[in-house]
Amino acid sequence: MRLRDIVRAPKAEVHWGEWKSGPNKPGDFPVQRSGKSLQFGSGYRTRVVSFAALGRKFRVLCAICEAKQSFYAAMGENVGKDTRVLACYEFHASHPGWHAHVACQEVDAVPFGRARGPHMKRVQSKRRLVFAINEDKASDLVNKVFGLRRGSGAIL
């Protein structure tokens, strides 16, 4: 199974968490074996979406900061109390446009407990739009990129 299979697969048990400010709870999107969740600085709002596909459980962490013109959405598989990060879709005002970091190998070969590493490939998006993201648009973008409402996703 590869990332594209998960993104294109029908989703079940989709649960959209609320947008919130402040630190994430340890179980929101843990990426370290210590059980700590991925964190962002002040000014960020985050939302966690959980879903099932192909007999496995996954989560997406979305973080936005309008003042810093920053968007981050990571999708990973739940692995015990950790996360196997499979893809990140991002925009930072300091970088040249939208881009993704994706794991191109079989899902089971991707290490868990790491948000980035040599197993991730950076892919520049052809999307050159300026940053115009709010909470509603961020949720729509997560739907589109990771295929949460449809069986296809734009990250492919």
pLDDT averages per 10-residue partition of the chain, 156 residues:
93 93 83 70 91 96 90 92 91 79 92 80 72 85 83 48
**Across-strand partners of 124?**
99
Residue 91: its H or E element: strand 82-92
For the chain, count helices (H), then strands (E): 2, 8
Structure tokens at 134: 């709010």
The pLDDT assigned to 95 comes to 72
The pLDDT assigned to 35 comes to 59
The pLDDT assigned to 78 comes to 93
